[in-house]
Structure 1
Amino acid sequence: MPAEPVVPSDTPNLPSLSCPQLDTAVPTVPKNPGKDLFSSERSEGEELIRVYEVKLDPDGGPSKKRSYIRLPPPYTPYVLRISLEASGTPAFKNGVLKTDLPLYGGNFERDRFSERSLPTGLSKSIHVDLPISYAGTFMYWVEYDGDAPGERVTSREGYFSIDPILRVSARTPILSHDSKPLLASEGGAKILPELVNIPLDGLSILTVVSKWMGPISQWRKHFEEASDRGYTMLHWTPLQERGASNSPYSVKNQKTYDTSVFDTPVDPQSASSRMEEILRIAKEEYGLLNLTDLVLNHTASDSWLNDHPEAGYSPANTPHLTPALELDTAIIEFTSMMEEKGVPTHVSTEQDIDAIIDALGEHVKTKKLWQFYVLDVEAEKVALVDAFSSNAVIPWTGEDVSGKTEIQLAEIVRSSSLIQGIGTFASRYVAHVDGRVSAGLISAAFGDLVNDIGALARAWARVVDVLNVPLYEEWEDDTRAALGAIKCGLKYVHLEDHGLKVGKISKELPLVATYFTRVAPNCDSDPATYSLVNNGWMWDADPLVNFALPPSKAYLRREVIVWADCVKLRFGSGPADNPWLWEHMTSYTTSLAGVFDGFRLDNCHSTPLHVGIAMLDAARKLNPNLYICAELFTPSEDMDLLFVRKLGINSLIREAVHARDVEDLASMMRRFGFSKPLACTVGYIEACTIRLEELADPFATERTRPCIVTSLNGSVLHTLLYEQSHDNPSYNDKRTAEHALAIAGILAFGSCAVGSVKGFDDLYPKYVDLTKDIRSYEITGLSENSGISRAKRVLNGLRREMILGGYTEGSVRPDFNYISMARTNPVTGHGYVLVAHTAFEQRGKKRGLSNPNELVRTRAKFVCGFVIDIPSYDMHPDPEILRGLPSELIDLPEVPVEWKTHFTEPFCSFGAPEFFPPGSIMIFETQLESVDLGFEVAT
């Protein structure tokens, strides 16, 4: 008798809750790990194989909604089934399914495809089963015979992403048997020696900046603090050697770790070994996975560029940048002349800015940048005369031009594309017309002047004047745009309340940030070769368009919000275009992949897509279970999806600090923070039907085994939702310091990865500048002066247990200034409710209006609650230590729960106590009556 099937009790997206002690070495994929399972005898008590089914449209391609499928980590191999209904599809005609998933093992190669023939029977649905046993992002499509002889039809592509397998240290429960938070001294959330599989929703990520952590010998205390507060992953800003600006994101040497973090001088090889060791300690002893930034867009302006100027964009390799360099140089010249010319250098009013812009505009005019746009009238006349003199005239063969006016002739010249070099800006007067062609044209137009070369030259000059009119207008428009951008920048830097408010304009604090880094190794170096554009970003830019390449004039029009300490890297279309740079950055990427558990793609939207693809492919060959999150700003969800599919991004970073009010925050949580609303069947994937059947071995043996088939309707993009990132202002500046506690509670109850930054829990009063600040973190642990850290420990611990425990259903309810969040296990009916009193603005200490939470046929009891009290916001910054606002985290006393009877069915009710000011949270445990697990009845 075969073993009786064991139907999994969890919903389709639930991982295993634990696993045995595991080998943490970097995995390799010599063969498809699922082959042994699918081809073996079924063992006693073995769970059903999961089969996730995607149904294609009749034409063989997925619908838009089903074009992207996110699948769970393959803790146990499972199957992705691609199916079509047999009736009405042409795909049965010699059809094959092609995919870049390595069906039979081996490393993933983007240009290597496996194929499976489609069944030809028409009495049932056609399907192909793909065995899934390792992480990655893959594509597929269907090919079949068309109607014409020899024609092959290719369907739309579909993509599926398999989440990585991440393993962290198991922990003891955060709550006692009577549902009260346990202190660490009482054994709460204690790290255990075994590992558990942690899904992406279970990640609690903390950003840390190594230069504020002190020497590496002191990092253990930082690990201990992060671990005690319940985090499961550290996000390290770049650990490499920094450039002159001291920003971690201005990397001087991608292959060398910052030596300043070591207690004693070390060579690069020793630095790598010691860094790997300390990261291993964070992971194995403190339960902290390691994520770091992958910075592919730029390098520090003082890096290796003297030796490899070809790695950047310069007028020598990108000629259209030539006038942008001249404009940048003119601005630098102007800055040094401002005091001499009586131009204001102390900016306190808009009138000062107007005076600066007017004077700068006059200075720019002296550079005659219009010469990069227009044709040189005199040179055009000379070229025409030379053509006549050397009998080199090319007869005109175009439309009849006899009797045409100069305006009409100019339009014919434009429409016939006779102007060479127009819009290339490679040099002054680069735009021109071949004198042999212009001579033929003008002879045909003015036949009566054919014996008067001088008259013909003058006639051609009049045509050139007409040609130049729109080109002068273009120059004027570009100049206005550049001056306008500089004016806006001056307002932000000097006048606006949220701006930088810098001091006197000088060489140290220039008029504007320079657009070019000049790295000439000596005075004889060619400026065109060694003047390299700095990187930056643009508002509403198309992420698929490189704004350093023509036809973009972003650097000429000063539209780039530039980082003056970072040079933009020039990868070209592939390694052949810049061999050294590709080798260098690939080596940098793979070295990190061997050490870290994941990458944060810095400025993913401005990383050329083909570069990101190549680098991540190389990284995943070394570490297939890399977790990839991305800072991605695109104009649409369709564009987001393009990057996610191509790069294999697991999570897109979003920031809760941008929520403006309660409704906005609730909407954000509905959009990003729930994979499965209450009483719905939406998980990793939008599932519509589930059925049991027999699965044939995908590797074509004769074995079958029972399976559970889940039909999919598509997937939403996974989110890493930050409470506050290292780029954000503090909550004390952006909202209120009290709001931090409410945000922490609300995000803890979302179905998404959650991120924070060191200082958020501690209530840092101001944004900490990554570049300029040199102070050190204060270690406060869970002490009285640690801000909301004690509450965060409970929230992170409870959140981890809900994710691992299958609490997949959730809801969010906004109510005046309150938000209530619920999480429930759909199998057991057990759950938790969090009530948060938000503090988007200062509203005093009153409880305010709120309605009670009433849960039908549900019992509830109080778990815990916290109030953050901040007596003063006036805090003088310590010159050496980064400290949070003085505060007290107050434990709420027991909040009663009432049990009531409605006309038809009973319900429990609880509301905010009298003392529940803005910036307070409380948590209740709940149990549905229909699934009674011995829950104590509230009275």
Structure 2
Amino acid sequence: MTHNDGVQIRIIILEAGEHLESVIRKVEKGWVVRFKRGSSLLGKKVAVYTSITPEVPLEWSEGNDHLSVHCQVECQQAGSFRYFFNVEESKEEGSGYFLVMPSLQVNGKALELDGICCQTYLTKLLGPLPEWKNRLRIAHESGYNMIHLTPIQELGVSNSSYSLSDHHGLVKTLGSHYGFEDIRNLVEDLEKTWGLLTVQDVVWNHAAKNATWLLEHPESAYNCLNSPHLRPAYVIDRVYHEFGKQVGEGVWEHRGVPPTIENIHHVNAIEYLLRAEVLPKAELHEFYQVDLKAMTNLFEIFIKQAGGPTSDPLDGENLEIIQDPEYRRFGNTVDFERSARIFNRLRGDANSEEERVTRCVQSFKDALHQKNLDAARESWEVILAGLQAVMGGITYERIAENGPKKGLVSAENPLTTDYFLHLEADLGWKNEEHFAFDPEKSKLLMAFNGWVMSSDPMKNFALKDSQVYLRRELVCWGDSVKLNYGDKEEDSPFLWQYMKEYTQKTASIFHGLRIDNAHGTPIHVAENLLKVARQVRPDVYVFAELFTGSEYLDNVFVNRLGISSLIREAQSAHDSHEQGRLVYRYGGDCVGAFKQKSARLAPNSIAHGLFLDQSHDNPSPIHTRSPFDILPTAAMLSMASCAVGSNRGYDELVRNHIHVVSETRPYASWPQDITEKQGIIKGRKILNDLHKWLAQHGYNQVFVDQMNPDIVGITRHNPLSHETVIVVSHTSFSKNYVDWPQNLKHIPIGGVLENVLFEMKLNQIQEEWDLENQEILMGLKNFEMEIRENINFSEGNMFKIHNREYIELTNFPTGSVIGFKVRPSDDAASAFQTIYDSIGGTSDAPRWSSCRNTRTGLQNTKSLAHWNEVGLITRTGVDDEWTWAFWSEKIKLNFEKEFYVDSDTRGEFVNRREILKDSVGSSEGFTDFQLRPNFGIALAVAPDLMNPKNAWKALNSAEVLLGPLGIKTLDPTDWAYSGFYNNDDDGTDKKTAKGWNYHQGPEWLFVAGFYLQARLNIGLILGGPEKRYAIRQTQERLGNAYKHIMNSPWRSLPELTNSNGENCRQSCDAQAWSVGCLIEACTTLNALSE
């Protein structure tokens, strides 16, 4: 949020070839996005389009000065918008995105995104609808302003909160006689009475395996009919299923594998049996091989019918196997025409046509046999890779110390997770294989969904080019079928319509959507469904959790989907230092950042964060850290300048993981089961109220101070008033309780201490932890909050104030939190206001040619005559015979005749024509005809020296000398040319020794400035296309100079460069005449452009 006055303008500089799909640029509704040509596009015709009006280019502002003209679009609706541009009506030359953040309102009042305080609830644990409000009331009493509900839709057979059997039905615990309108009424009531917005998950990429609509529309899934490449994976899946069932039945106990798997010996025995006996019998390779005998016979028939050998050139052709599209055993084939070109050849080892054919067929057979062997080897590698993955899962689930230790293999806890839905009776894999090829049964063999570690989220792992199901790389959710949208709506019309209606209904009820498994949802699907959502709720708040493993890919998802916030988790931090780094990373601008102007460059941003102290997927930090860390971590996050959130149960000190699948106990109700005295609820309200207040009042700068390994101080700063709020937290990332650390550094006040906001700590009042209520989700009872607010400076329990200069923390044990508010002194506030006033104004894109004074420097001889006439100089010339005026006229009459080399000039030294000589009558002779750029200086200061058309031709000829920044001081085709200057060269080559080539090739910038000035002068005289060309060329050259200045630590231009703009280390990095001559050209350019 920006707290500056005036229309906010964010400027995007366009550069040729830049496709910025991963650069996030956030703006707000009502702001203006302005586009300007970058250095690579100056002087070029550029058409800019946005997805707001994709068919019509944006209109450039008036003027010929490409440095100042712009086009812009006003951001009137929330969402993600793509821009792209063409150059000279060519193909798309560059693109990017800008993200317009939604405007959230609570009862008509704006809710800052950085002020969001969200609490997650598992809908299935809220009970019947009449009981919801009492269970949700804790969010209101704890100071939250947003509730996140897991799906309210009907759950599948697993009872997982994210496995939906009917996206258009309601969860059964709600009560059969309630409908979506009742939910809508509740959502509206929560906002009206408690100021709570409500958001809900959308589940787009899978459905429960018992969803009846999938049986009616199996094309909505990836099955063995529409995805026959999955058939081999299905067979292997059934092999594992059968083996696991046998283990549970004790079939393999005599081989060292009992039904209860509980040690490494059992695991090793399983691995051996699968590798040595079970998996080889599946003969996976046969799905990727050819029938050698059949193919050989067919090839022999083919070449006999061909009528003789071929003599066509081979061009490196090799025998290739064509995969059977139905993936049958030995169903693969070959291209017989190609095979004939390779093998049906004349042979020197054959005495007859029959023998030749026989030998050709044998060569084909041998090559085909080798292909089969290759397929067998590759298939076995796939089997071993899959086995390794399977054994990793078995080890974790059965014997790992940090695993669930499932023990007994049973139907409820199978040895391996099925990858495919199998509705038929278990008949053993050999008898089930034919199901995959049956036209009716195969369409019900549907692939389950899951996630793949370290995979590319932009790649669909269920498609033919993936072996995820075959290599058992999927961390599979055995309760949910992966949905198949295809590439477009026509590929799966029922599914698209089904999900559109579901999305619209959800968006019409709730204020926001959380995209479940966003990285696993095809991005084109999410894009289209979010468009549908925004049709019914334009300012829908969209947030998601992404596991792409790459910030680049995270940003691509944010840009394409218009994600408002990405979920960030404090539980990913391993210590307080890392947790503080996350607050710094996601929590706002750094303290001390300059006051920003209303019109400025659009910064490259990180995705806005929704920072959670615990998500519903995390186990309780009571186990992973300590109960004493609950409050300090909540306090640290409340000081982040972003959206924050928590999970129901965290504030109440629920010690066990409230699992999205297995948990069935309902939440406690307010006030029957729970009050503000439970856990940290009262402290949470103080922290949430502070978080909201900081966002509302512009405290958007953050500083994190690691005071010791466990204590972190976080500052929120208001850049306008320069008031600060400081909260210090004593975290506990281990079970060890620390009473009070010694030698903690003091907290400098740095102004006037206005208020001690609070002291809070969590106290353990009993040694033993109470057991949780077995019927209702209740937290620990042996802890209580100690809270003091608005404390007198002399009455603090945790601190002492010394001379109004610094604060000493005197009693600050583990689990403690303290907050201060500081304002600047009166003198400092006055100084700040003075600075604030002095740097007001507006900003535009960086711009050359701000100079408006007339050009100074060398003048032509006409000026000398004028100065004499007006009395500025008394002498009329060198002597009384030649006046300045006479001398000027003499030069003009003879210059072109002596210096211009026209197209008809002949002579032994003539190298290039239509040039201006650098000298006339030189002793060497040939040097008169060397092409050099110095004549540009003469044309710059005296453009009427010669016929402007010939001057234009000379300037055209000199274009070959132009480098990126400067201009070569000698023709690059000249024998004496050497473009790399080194004054330290002690060599024997005269061309370069001791920098001899100083003016024999290196590219000088001040001369290039005069060249541009000459272009503009002559272009002005000629007018028409020449004038336009001169303006365009100058603008393009200025672009290179601007790019260099912005990348230079000197913010200037060098004296010269080596060949083609390479840096010359012996050149001055900031040369006045390089800049000055360019500014002169800019002055003329401005005059021509106005």
Q: TM bucket by the smaller chain?
A: 0.7 to 0.9
Matches within 5 A, 1:156-235: 156-169=94-107, 195-235=108-148
Matches within 5 A, 1:288-327: 288-303=196-211, 304-327=213-236
1:881 has 2:788 as partner: no
1:443 has 2:344 as partner: yes
- Distance (Å, rounded) in 2 between the aligned partners of 1:498 and 1:101: 51
- Distance (Å, rounded) in 1 between the aligned partners of 2:586 and 2:767: 34
Map of 2:749 onto structure 1: 855
Q: Quick one: which of 887, 891, 895 aligns to 2:787?
A: 891
1:842 has 2:743 as partner: no
1:751 has 2:641 as partner: yes
Task: Please state how far the C-alpha of 1:312 moved relative to its aligned partner.
Answer: 0.6
One-letter identity of the residue aligned with 1:99: T
- Distance (Å, rounded) in 2 between the aligned partners of 1:116 and 1:617: 26
Map of 1:13 onto structure 2: 2
Task: Please state how far the C-alpha of 1:320 moved relative to its aligned partner.
Answer: 1.2
Question: Which SS does the other structure have where 1:865 is aligned?
Answer: strand
Task: Please state how far the C-alpha of 1:421 moved relative to its aligned partner.
Answer: 1.3
Q: Quick one: which of 759, 768, 784 aligns to 1:865?
A: 759
Q: 8 Å contact 1:873–1:885 — kept in the other structure?
A: no
Task: Please state how far the C-alpha of 1:58 moved relative to its aligned partner.
Answer: 5.3
Task: Please state how far the C-alpha of 1:873 moved relative to its aligned partner.
Answer: 6.0
1:603 has 2:517 as partner: yes
- Distance (Å, rounded) in 2 between the aligned partners of 1:605 and 1:858: 48
Q: Quick one: which of 807, 811, 818 aligns to 2:703?
A: 811
Question: Which SS does the other structure have where 1:911 is aligned?
Answer: strand
Map of 2:378 onto structure 1: 474
Question: Which SS does the other structure have where 2:691 is aligned?
Answer: helix
Q: CA offsets, 1:371-392, max 9 Å, x none?
A: 0123332222222233256558
One-letter identity of the residue aligned with 1:834: V
- Distance (Å, rounded) in 2 between the aligned partners of 1:446 and 1:254: 68
- Distance (Å, rounded) in 2 between the aligned partners of 1:653 and 1:376: 53
Q: CA offsets, 1:583-608, max 9 Å, x none?
A: 11111111111111111111111111
Change over 3 Å in CA distance of 1:881–1:857 after alignment to 2: same
Question: Which SS does the other structure have where 2:753 is aligned?
Answer: strand
- Distance (Å, rounded) in 2 between the aligned partners of 1:395 and 1:881: 83
Q: CA offsets, 1:520-576, max 9 Å, x none?
A: 799987332111110000111101000111211000000000000010000100001
Question: Which SS does the other structure have where 1:827 is aligned?
Answer: coil
Question: Which SS does the other structure have where 2:447 is aligned?
Answer: strand
Task: Please state how far the C-alpha of 1:97 moved relative to its aligned partner.
Answer: 2.1
Q: Quick one: which of 468, 471, 490 aligns to 1:557?
A: 471
- Distance (Å, rounded) in 2 between the aligned partners of 1:751 and 1:771: 33
Structure showing greater relative contact order (alpha-carbon pairs closer than 8 Å, 6 or more residues apart): 1
Map of 2:680 onto structure 1: 788
- Distance (Å, rounded) in 1 between the aligned partners of 2:422 and 2:463: 19
- Distance (Å, rounded) in 2 between the aligned partners of 1:475 and 1:222: 55
Question: Which SS does the other structure have where 1:772 is aligned?
Answer: coil
Moved more, 663-672 or 335-344: 335-344
Q: Quick one: which of 25, 34, 56 aligns to 1:69?
A: 25
- Distance (Å, rounded) in 2 between the aligned partners of 1:462 and 1:274: 73
Task: Please state how far the C-alpha of 1:463 moved relative to its aligned partner.
Answer: 1.7
- Distance (Å, rounded) in 2 between the aligned partners of 1:732 and 1:606: 31
Question: Which SS does the other structure have where 1:502 is aligned?
Answer: coil
Change over 3 Å in CA distance of 1:873–1:754 after alignment to 2: farther
Q: Which protein is richer in strand relative to its size?
A: 1
Map of 2:330 onto structure 1: 429
Change over 3 Å in CA distance of 1:392–1:313 after alignment to 2: farther
- Distance (Å, rounded) in 2 between the aligned partners of 1:255 and 1:113: 39
Map of 2:529 onto structure 1: 615
One-letter identity of the residue aligned with 1:838: T
Question: Which SS does the other structure have where 1:143 is aligned?
Answer: strand
Q: 8 Å contact 1:207–1:234 — kept in the other structure?
A: yes
Q: Quick one: which of 279, 287, 294 aligns to 1:372?
A: 287
- Distance (Å, rounded) in 2 between the aligned partners of 1:869 and 1:497: 31
Change over 3 Å in CA distance of 1:417–1:617 after alignment to 2: farther
Map of 1:173 onto structure 2: none
Matches within 5 A, 1:253-402: 253-262=166-175, 265-266=176-177, 271-303=179-211, 304-338=213-247, 339-342=250-253, 343-361=257-275, 362-388=277-303, 395=310, 397-399=312-314
Change over 3 Å in CA distance of 1:865–1:446 after alignment to 2: farther
Q: Which protein is richer in helix relative to its size?
A: 2
Map of 1:107 onto structure 2: none
Map of 1:101 onto structure 2: 52
Map of 1:128 onto structure 2: 71
Moved more, 890-899 or 626-635: 890-899
Given the two structures, how large is their TM-score scaled by the length of structure 1? 0.81
- Distance (Å, rounded) in 2 between the aligned partners of 1:417 and 1:239: 56
Q: Percent same amino acid among aligned pairs? A: 28
Change over 3 Å in CA distance of 1:84–1:457 after alignment to 2: closer
Given the two structures, how large is their TM-score scaled by the length of structure 2? 0.70
Map of 1:503 onto structure 2: 407
- Distance (Å, rounded) in 2 between the aligned partners of 1:60 and 1:133: 28
Change over 3 Å in CA distance of 1:771–1:153 after alignment to 2: closer
One-letter identity of the residue aligned with 2:379: W
One-letter identity of the residue aligned with 1:340: V
Question: Which SS does the other structure have where 1:230 is aligned?
Answer: coil
Q: CA offsets, 1:751-785, max 9 Å, x none?
A: 11001110010111111221111111113567365
One-letter identity of the residue aligned with 1:215: P
Q: 8 Å contact 2:321–2:371 — kept in the other structure?
A: no
Q: 8 Å contact 1:897–1:909 — kept in the other structure?
A: no
Map of 2:82 onto structure 1: 139
Q: CA offsets, 1:675-730, max 9 Å, x none?
A: 22211138xxxx5xx2xxxxxxxxxxxxxxxxx43343332211111110000010
Task: Please state how far the C-alpha of 1:788 moved relative to its aligned partner.
Answer: 0.7
Q: 8 Å contact 2:42–2:66 — kept in the other structure?
A: no
Moved more, 93-102 or 493-502: 93-102
- Distance (Å, rounded) in 2 between the aligned partners of 1:275 and 1:235: 14
Map of 1:717 onto structure 2: 607
- Distance (Å, rounded) in 1 between the aligned partners of 2:768 and 2:80: 48
Question: Which SS does the other structure have where 2:653 is aligned?
Answer: coil
Map of 2:90 onto structure 1: 152
Change over 3 Å in CA distance of 1:124–1:824 after alignment to 2: same
Q: 8 Å contact 1:97–1:118 — kept in the other structure?
A: no
Map of 2:930 onto structure 1: none
One-letter identity of the residue aligned with 1:803: A
Change over 3 Å in CA distance of 1:68–1:113 after alignment to 2: farther
Matches within 5 A, 1:681-720: 681=594, 687=596, 690=597, 708-720=598-610
Map of 2:965 onto structure 1: none
Change over 3 Å in CA distance of 1:142–1:853 after alignment to 2: same
Indicate the structure (1 or 2) with the bigger Cα radius of gyration. Answer: 2
- Distance (Å, rounded) in 2 between the aligned partners of 1:473 and 1:839: 53
Task: Please state how far the C-alpha of 1:419 moved relative to its aligned partner.
Answer: 2.0
Task: Please state how far the C-alpha of 1:93 moved relative to its aligned partner.
Answer: 4.1
Map of 1:727 onto structure 2: 617
Measured on the aligned residues, the alpha-carbon RMSD in Å equals: 2.7
Question: Which SS does the other structure have where 1:563 is aligned?
Answer: strand
Question: Which SS does the other structure have where 2:259 is aligned?
Answer: coil
1:50 has 2:7 as partner: yes
Change over 3 Å in CA distance of 1:344–1:526 after alignment to 2: farther
Change over 3 Å in CA distance of 1:243–1:153 after alignment to 2: closer
Matches within 5 A, 1:32-43: none
| Count of equivalent residues | 798
Question: Which SS does the other structure have where 2:344 is aligned?
Answer: helix
Q: 8 Å contact 1:897–1:908 — kept in the other structure?
A: no
One-letter identity of the residue aligned with 2:787: D
Matches within 5 A, 1:915-934: 916-930=812-826
One-letter identity of the residue aligned with 1:710: R
Q: 8 Å contact 1:306–1:521 — kept in the other structure?
A: no
Q: Quick one: which of 814, 817, 822 aligns to 2:715?
A: 822
Task: Please state how far the C-alpha of 1:63 moved relative to its aligned partner.
Answer: 7.6
